[in-house]
Amino acid sequence: MRISAAGPPRTVAEVTAVIPCFNYGHYLEHAVWSVLGQADVRARVIIVDDASTDDSLAVARRLAGADARITVIAHAVNQGHIRTYNDGLDAVETDYVTLLSADDLVAEGALGRATALMTAHPRVGMVYGRPVEFSGEPPTTRRAGLAPHTWTRWTGDEWLALACLRGRCFILSPEVVMRTAVVRQIGGYNRDLPKSGDLEYWLRTAARWDVGRVNGRVQAYYRQHEANMHAVALPSMAADIRHRALAFDYLVGADYASTAGNGARLVRRARTALAREAVLLSMRELDAGGSLVTATELRAAALDVRPGHRGGWRLRRLDRRLHRAWQGTAPNGTQKALETVRVFADRVRWRIWALTGVS
């Protein structure tokens, strides 16, 4: 990992934002103008409407009629989000591309900061940064605060190792900008992973390219709402853990040539981390006096992703907690104190992630 001061843009880059849209017509215009309003790049937008049943297509065509930088692709029948992503990516003609959900926003100056990093470092294939979650009205421009504007770069192997060690995806999605050459090399999103395709795509990129991050500035705004696709597709943490495991399994596939001979070890490491996370989340659910059903589902997920985890001391400790809980015993003082410490640790990890991009 290398951290350096951020440099100024060397050129005015051309960037396309692919905006997949299904029934998000009321959000679409904000997403489009968050891209076209970027002052330090030449931006284009490709809206891919996946046979929306609201006014999304009408909004898209109205916007395209008013601005030649906007192109619309309309599906006659619903194809699903993976096909929608790939159809938009296939149509990109600029050197750089970002995939932006119609309900999210690009932060002011984000595209220029990301492309400046890739221009300065030709081995970096994708750049991400800090996203900020919001709900309701789009956020106004926020001050960056006192954090210095820096760049972090990892070799692809370094970033893969960190992701597997933690069993996590460090990226929400709207904050990523990629070289279009990378997209052409690695192909589209995996249709077999509709619920963890983003994670697998970042892993596949890191298997061939270095990874960069813009630090000290907000790069995207991620909207939280009841119809958010991630919340609908993954209604529980147990489901999320299982689908992440499926994404990591592809590290032994043909698309991961750079991990040859190491892929199986990385998969084991990732699945072990996921099992450990599932057990910890199950304990936390019990220690906080939460749902026994949720705790039991998380325990099952731990065994699904790492059957060898069956004899671990963490699992035995969890089983004792589950046994007491099923008997109606409330969390004791020690359990409540442990959960208080964990909540504090969560805040620390969040700060580390916000500053460094990994946690």
Tokens, residue 206:
């890191």
Same domain, 219 and 260: no
Question: Does a structural domain hold residue 119?
Answer: yes
Which residue reads 């749902």 in tokens?
Answer: 291
Q: Which amino acid is at 248?
A: F
Q: What's the predicted TM-score (pTM) here?
A: 0.92
Same domain, 121 and 165: yes
Phi, psi of 204 (to 5 degrees): -65, -35
Q: How far apart (Å, rounded) are the C-alpha atoms in residues 288 and 45?
A: 46
Q: Which of 201, 224, 247 is the last residue of a domain?
A: 224
CA end-to-end span of the chain, whole Å? 14
Q: Which of 190, 224, 258 is the last residue of a domain?
A: 224
| Those residues with Cβ within 8 angstroms of residue 108's Cβ, 6 or more apart along the chain or in another chain | 37, 38, 141
**How many structural domains comprise the chain?**
2
Question: Does a structural domain hold residue 229?
Answer: no
Question: Does a structural domain hold residue 283?
Answer: yes
Q: How far apart (Å, rounded) are the C-alpha atoms in residues 21 and 102?
A: 6
Contact status, residue 128 vs residue 181, Cβ threshold 8 Å: no
Comparing CA positions, the residue from 15, 198, 19 lying closest to residue 101 is 19
Segments of the chain with pLDDT less than 50:
231-232, 234
Q: Which amino acid is at 329?
A: T
Question: Does a structural domain hold residue 69?
Answer: yes
Same domain, 218 and 268: no
Q: How far apart (Å, rounded) are the C-alpha atoms in residues 89 and 81?
A: 12
| Those residues with Cβ within 8 angstroms of residue 218's Cβ, 6 or more apart along the chain or in another chain | 107, 110, 129, 130, 131, 132, 142, 144
Q: What is the pLDDT of residue 137?
A: 76
Q: What is the pLDDT of residue 110?
A: 96
Same domain, 194 and 272: no
Question: Does a structural domain hold residue 231?
Answer: no
Q: What is the pLDDT of residue 136?
A: 78
Q: How far apart (Å, rounded) are the C-alpha atoms in residues 301 and 159?
A: 25
Pairing type for strands 150-154 and 210-223 reads: antiparallel
Same domain, 318 and 204: no
Question: Does a structural domain hold residue 94?
Answer: yes
Cα-based distances in Å from 102 to 121, 186, 338? 30, 24, 40
Same domain, 50 and 160: yes
Q: What is the pLDDT of residue 270?
A: 96
Q: How far apart (Å, rounded) are the C-alpha atoms in residues 237 and 263?
A: 25
Same domain, 39 and 150: yes
For residue 168, the domain's CATH number is 3.90.550.10
Q: In angstroms, what is the C-alpha Rg of the chain?
A: 21
Same domain, 58 and 95: yes
Question: Does a structural domain hold residue 232?
Answer: no
Same domain, 43 and 186: yes
Same domain, 64 and 136: yes
Same domain, 294 and 196: no
The burial of 53, by beta-carbon neighbours within 10 Å (0-12 exposed, 13-18 middle, 19 or more buried), is given as: exposed
Domain enclosing residue 334, as ranges: 239-356
Q: What is the pLDDT of residue 17?
A: 98
Q: Which of 162, 196, 224 is the last residue of a domain?
A: 224
Same domain, 121 and 67: yes
Question: Does a structural domain hold residue 230?
Answer: no
